[in-house]
């Protein structure tokens, strides 16, 4: 497909209602978990995103039947398959492909997954995943760019994670469901996507306890069965629209968003002067002329999400005063700052912190998305900038936002998608 770019005419105040799609990162791990049963699984409210297509391609490559049935429903039949390899061509497109490793080990007793490699937000090693599988009894070798693992029988054991990694918690949890005995994951991730995966596994017949805490206990069972499951709304998509409303001084009602999962963002936006009204599954954001500068520090859930850091930085660029944004989850997640500076922002990065002196106006410039959330930050900046911003490499945005420009335009933005 020809590369595309977005042409964003700035300075439009957003107003209206926007509906949030299913959570990308929840859909990805739940799709991987369907491999744990021979039965058919039906997943509903699955977002139509390129990352979901990539996970579907990975699963198909294993020999599994994956079909869209209607707009947002996936039908996955893993009755009979014996390919255990996720190749480089697919894993390089999406690191989340590593999530099939735990289910493959549990189901086929072997897995061969291309090593994901670094990406623009950091080195992102997978050593905790590997250590976890080894603790469960697998023999793991890393050779020629692939992680190869095999096991006779997975056996439950205690695993301590050095950092509450979302992916490692999920991968180990999936493998442990069909292991013999009990697995305890200490310092586990508490993210909503982990909790949802646990609910999905329990619905399949697994015995997972302690979800949402830092000690997850999984008692292995012999067999899991197929289920029909609905994916939760995407908290990061919702958060991005909250900032779109805040940065344009708009008035936006966000439907199908869970306020309980967005607490750290809500608190920070209120601190910045934004009015927020909450109801079950509804968030109304009422902006003001210029927000106050506030500091944020990203942390594992329930701390401020790293996946909202770039978007919050875009807002800080036009705040009254100086903000300090500290990134503690990924070591290099400030790639978007260069392009924000091109748009007139005043940002200095010192180690893990960015110091942002708010300016009255940003000005449009040709910019480039370097990753998914960094790209979202540039769209947000484009929404308030004076003039017309051209944003290229938007394939990053299509990985994680359903109909982004369509949804923003329905709120009053002026964004066109054109061929480069
Ligand atoms: N880490 C290691 N070793 C490991 C695993 C992780 O050192 O074996 C480090 C990472 O390098 C990072 C930190 O631990 O510094 C946290 O990484 P984590 O494993 O929690 O992240 P992930 O599972 O690779 C998921 C999301 C990301 C999101 C992070 C953090 C998926 C598919 N991806 O990644 O989502 O930023 O958790 O919340 O679930 C996005 O949607 O834009 C995105 C990047």
CATH of the domain at 86: 3.65.10.10
Atom 40 of ligand 1, nearest CA residue: 307
φ, ψ at 318 (rounded to 5°): -110, 20
Task: Give the pLDDT band (50/70/90) at residue 2.
Answer: confident
Atom 17 of ligand 1, nearest CA residue: 165
How many whole angstroms from 124 Cα to the centroid of ligand 1? Answer: 7
Atom 7 of ligand 1, nearest CA residue: 125
Atom 43 of ligand 1, nearest CA residue: 307
Instruction: Kindly state the average pLDDT of the residues 136-144.
Output: 96
**Claim to verify: residue 263 and residue 186 sit in the same structural domain:** no
**Claim to verify: residue 61 and residue 28 sit in the same structural domain:** yes
pLDDT above 80: residue 320: yes
Dist. CA 110–CA 149, nearest whole Å? 5
Task: Give the pLDDT band (50/70/90) at residue 105.
Answer: very high
- Active-site residue identified among 41, 84, 119, 317: 119
Domain boundary among 198, 230, 262: 230
- What distances in angstroms separate CA 270 from CA 277, 288, 355, one per listed residue? 10, 11, 20
pTM for this one?
0.97
Task: Give the pLDDT band (50/70/90) at residue 133.
Answer: very high
pLDDT digits (tens, 9 = 90+) for 39-72: 999 999 999 999 999 999 999 999 999 999 999 9
pLDDT digits (tens, 9 = 90+) for 334-388: 999 999 999 999 999 999 999 999 999 999 999 999 999 999 999 999 999 999 9
How many whole angstroms from 168 Cα to the centroid of ligand 1? Answer: 8
> Among residues 410, 105, 94, which one has the least CA distance to residue 250?
410
Domain boundary among 164, 196, 230: 230
**Tokens matching residue 242:** 């909250």
**Tokens matching residue 146:** 């692939």
**Claim to verify: residue 298 and residue 368 sit in the same structural domain:** yes
How many whole angstroms from 321 Cα to the centroid of ligand 1? Answer: 31
**Claim to verify: residue 262 and residue 147 sit in the same structural domain:** no
Dist. CA 136–CA 142, nearest whole Å? 17
How many whole angstroms from 128 Cα to the centroid of ligand 1? Answer: 11
**Claim to verify: residue 11 and residue 149 sit in the same structural domain:** no
Mutation probe of ligand 1 site: the residue of 163, 240, 332, 370 with most atoms within 8 A of C-beta: 163
Strand 414-419 with 15-19, pairing: unpaired
How many whole angstroms from 62 Cα to the centroid of ligand 1? Answer: 24
Mutation probe of ligand 1 site: the residue of 119, 121, 147, 165 with most atoms within 8 A of C-beta: 165
**Claim to verify: residue 225 and residue 372 sit in the same structural domain:** no
pLDDT digits (tens, 9 = 90+) for 191-222: 999 999 999 999 999 999 999 999 999 999 99
**Claim to verify: residue 206 and residue 353 sit in the same structural domain:** no
Dist. CA 19–CA 33, nearest whole Å? 27
How many whole angstroms from 249 Cα to the centroid of ligand 1? Answer: 32
Number of domains in the chain: 2
**Claim to verify: residue 245 and residue 138 sit in the same structural domain:** no
**Claim to verify: residue 200 and residue 273 sit in the same structural domain:** no
How many whole angstroms from 121 Cα to the centroid of ligand 1? Answer: 10
pLDDT above 80: residue 152: yes
Residue 117's pLDDT is 65
Domain boundary among 211, 230, 249: 230
Whether residue 254 contacts residue 269, with contact meaning beta carbons closer than 8 Å, is answered with: no
| 119 is a catalytic site residue | yes
Estimate to the nearest angstrom the gap between the alpha carbon of 112 and the chain centroid: 24
**Claim to verify: residue 33 and residue 125 sit in the same structural domain:** yes
**Claim to verify: residue 220 and residue 267 sit in the same structural domain:** no
Dist. CA 186–CA 182, nearest whole Å? 13
* Ligand 1 atom at minimum distance from 167 CA: 23
* Ligand 1 atom at minimum distance from 372 CA: 42
* Ligand 1 atom at minimum distance from 126 CA: 8
Residue list, ligand 1 pocket, CB within 6 Å: 25, 28, 96, 122, 124-129, 163, 165-168, 306-307, 329-330, 372-373, 400
Mutation probe of ligand 1 site: the residue of 55, 167, 376 with most atoms within 8 A of C-beta: 167
**Claim to verify: residue 332 and residue 401 sit in the same structural domain:** yes
Atom 9 of ligand 1, nearest CA residue: 124
Residue 12, domain extent: 4-21+233-419
Average pLDDT of the chain is: 96
Mutation probe of ligand 1 site: the residue of 22, 24, 25, 119 with most atoms within 8 A of C-beta: 25
């Amino acid at each position: 497909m020809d590369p595309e770019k977005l042409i964003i005419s700035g300075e439009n105040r957003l107003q209206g209602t926007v509906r949030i799609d299913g959570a990308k990162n929840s859909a990805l791990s739940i799709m991987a978990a369907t491999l744990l049963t021979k039965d058919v699984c039906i997943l509903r409210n699955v977002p139509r995103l390129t990352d979901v297509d990539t996970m579907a391609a990975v699963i198909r490559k294993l020999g599994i039947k994956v079909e869209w049935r209607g707009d947002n429903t996936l039908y996955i039949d893993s009755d009979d398959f014996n390919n255990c390899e996720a190749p480089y061509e697919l894993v390089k497109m999406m690191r989340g492909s590593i999530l099939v490793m735990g289910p493959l080990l549990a189901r086929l007793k072997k897995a061969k997954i291309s090593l994901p490699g670094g990406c623009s937000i950091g080195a992102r090693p997978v050593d905790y995943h590997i250590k976890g599988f080894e603790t469960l009894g697998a023999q793991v070798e890393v050779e020629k760019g692939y992680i190869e693992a095999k096991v006779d029988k997975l056996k439950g054991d205690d695993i301590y994670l050095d950092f509450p990694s979302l992916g490692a918690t999920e991968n180990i949890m999936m493998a442990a469901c069909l292991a013999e005995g009990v697995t305890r994951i200490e310092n586990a991730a508490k993210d909503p996507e982990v909790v949802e995966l646990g609910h999905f596994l329990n619905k399949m017949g697994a015995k997972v306890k302690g979800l949402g805490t830092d000690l997850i206990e999984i008692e292995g069972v012999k067999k899991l069965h197929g289920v029909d499951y609905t994916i939760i709304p995407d908290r990061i998509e919702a958060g991005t629209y909250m900032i779109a409303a805040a940065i344009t001084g708009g008035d936006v009602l966000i439907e199908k968003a869970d306020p309980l999962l967005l607490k750290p963002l809500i608190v920070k936006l209120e601190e910045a002067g934004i009015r927020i009204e909450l109801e079950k599954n509804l968030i109304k954001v009422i902006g003001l002329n210029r927000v106050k500068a506030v500091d944020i520090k990203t942390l594992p859930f329930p701390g401020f999400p790293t996946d909202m850091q770039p978007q919050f930085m875009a807002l800080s660029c036009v705040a009254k005063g100086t903000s300090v944004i500290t990134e503690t989850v990924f070591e290099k997640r400030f790639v978007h700052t260069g392009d924000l500076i091109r748009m007139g922002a005043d940002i200095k990065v010192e180690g893990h912190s960015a110091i942002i002196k708010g300016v009255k106006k940003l000005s449009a410039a040709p910019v480039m998305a370097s990753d998914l959330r960094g790209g979202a930050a540039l769209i947000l900046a484009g929404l308030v900038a004076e003039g017309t911003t051209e944003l290229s490499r938007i394939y990053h945005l299509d990985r994680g936002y359903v109909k982004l420009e369509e949804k923003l335009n329905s709120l009053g933005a002026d964004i066109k998608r054109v061929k480069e």
